[in-house]
Amino acid sequence: MLRIESLTTSLGDFSVRDISLEVRDNEYFVILGPTGAGKSVLIETIAGIHFPSSGRIVLDGRDVTRTAPWSRPVGMVYQDYMLFPHLDVGENIAFGLRQRRVPAARRREQVIEICGLLEIDHLLGRSPGSLSGGEQQRVALARALVLEPKVLLLDEPLSALDGPTRERMRAELSRVRRLTGTAVLHITHHFEDVFALADRIAIMRDGRIVQVGETGDVFLHPADRFVAEFLGIGNIIRGRSERFGSVVRITTTSGVTFSAASGTLGEVVATFHAEDVILSGAPFASSARNCLEGEVLGVVPCGSTIQVRLDVGFPLTALLTRESCHDLALSPGVRIFATFKASAVHLIPVGS
């Protein structure tokens, strides 16, 4: 297990501050955050490239805070692969083993073994410059995994790949984690990586961790408005909540009310996903407490789905299939009813 305790690292005017988190054995842990949040500084500190000004890094019960990078049981893969152009694939993969003075015969065995696992045996004699992006990424992954690290550190490893290659590499990372049992700490800004790979996630902002949790829980229950906006939650509404029977009633600044299954009272920000909104030409019987009439402001194609923007007394967004949008004949100016459950609404106290 990797444990980070109150870690602070300063580089010039920027710092990652008071970071505490754990990556469990065999866990796939993803750190998300906007550009400049400090994700790379954090992962490079764990790797030993930077030394922290305070705090500890503990790996399998061993304090490695001041341990040299090559003596830490971690492997690292960068976005740009960082393969040595003057070495062939086999020599690149064996580089760390040579640094550790592993005997030549054993080096060859380990290189062949990891190349078999990643299905890149046929690349062994090639030069890095002759490889595709996906092949270079597999070689960089092999170079990290051949050292049998306790934790694999991945710094935006899929960002330079095209869509289809990135999808294949996600499947490869999942397979490798399953076969090797290696814990993975992966930093990214692609939500697709999170949904495909992560057991738990952390959100970073301005050098701090602002939320940690299981993937589904963080997306459904953002800790604050920044997290909700960063995760792209479709509906974020300011209002005031008060007790109303078994639920709370939120009154928006425009005076429109809706319900939430929450105990949070006072000034709040209500969030719910566009996918949780059902549109219909007339109210219909359901268990959902919220049904608001409004006007379509815009219809925006988003791949296989359609984003519908409404005015229900406050801006509201729904996400529909193309078929549903066609059946409802939605276009700007059409009157429509928006229905959503009180349980779909998450409330964040203002000031959180």
Backbone angles phi, psi at 300, to 5 degrees: -120, 115
- 47 in Cβ contact with 8 (< 8 Å): no
Q: Are 155 and 43 in contact (CB under 8 A)?
A: yes
Give the C-alpha distances (Å, rounded to integers) separating 43 from 5, 70, 207, 277. Answer: 14, 15, 12, 38
DSSP classification of residue 102: -
Smallest CA-to-CA distance from 110 within 148, 76, 74 is with 148
Using only the alpha carbons of the chain, give its radius of gyration: 25
Longest CA–CA separation in the chain, Å:
76
Which helix (H) or strand (E) segment holds residue 15: the answer is strand 14-23
Distance CA 205, CA 189 (A): 12
* pTM for the full predicted model: 0.88
Q: Which residues is 204 bridged to in the sheet?
A: 209
What integer pLDDT is reported at residue 352 of this predicted model?
66
The predicted pLDDT at position 163 comes to 80
CATH fold, domain 233-344, is OB fold (Dihydrolipoamide Acetyltransferase, E2P) (2.40.50)
Quickly tell me which residue has 């051949």 as its tokens.
146
Supply angle C-alpha 107, 49, 130, rounded to 5: 50
Dist CA 338 CA 336 (whole Å)? 7
What's the rounded Cα separation, in Å, for the pair 319 and 344? 14
Q: CA-to-CA distance for 59 and 329, rounded, in angstroms? A: 58
CB–CB of 233/192 below 8 Å?
no
Domain covering 2-225, topology: Rossmann fold (3.40.50)
Give yes or no on whether 2-225 and 233-344 have one common fold.
no
β-sheet bridge partners, residue 46: none
Q: What is the pLDDT of residue 319?
A: 96
* pLDDT in single tens digits along all 352 residues of the chain: 999 999 999 998 999 999 999 999 999 999 999 989 999 999 999 999 999 999 999 999 999 999 999 889 999 998 887 899 999 999 999 998 988 899 999 999 999 999 998 889 999 989 999 998 888 988 999 999 999 999 999 998 888 777 888 888 888 899 888 888 899 999 998 888 999 999 999 999 999 999 999 999 999 999 999 999 999 999 999 999 999 998 999 999 999 999 999 999 999 999 999 999 999 999 988 889 999 999 999 999 988 899 999 999 999 999 999 999 999 999 999 999 999 999 999 999 997 6
- pLDDT tens digits, residue range 228-269? 999 999 999 999 999 999 899 999 999 999 999 999 999 999
Backbone dihedral angles phi then psi of residue 220, each to the nearest 5 degrees: -85, -30
Quick check: 38 and 46 in contact, CB under 8 A? no
How many angstroms separate the CA atoms of 134 and 171, rounded?
Answer: 12
DSSP state of 69: G
Q: Which two tokens stand for residue 141?
A: 């992954």
Residue 79 sits at the vertex; the CA angle it makes with 78 and 84, to the nearest 5 degrees, is 60
- Domain residue ranges in the chain: 2-225, 233-344
Candidates 216, 208, 334; CA nearest to 279 is: 334
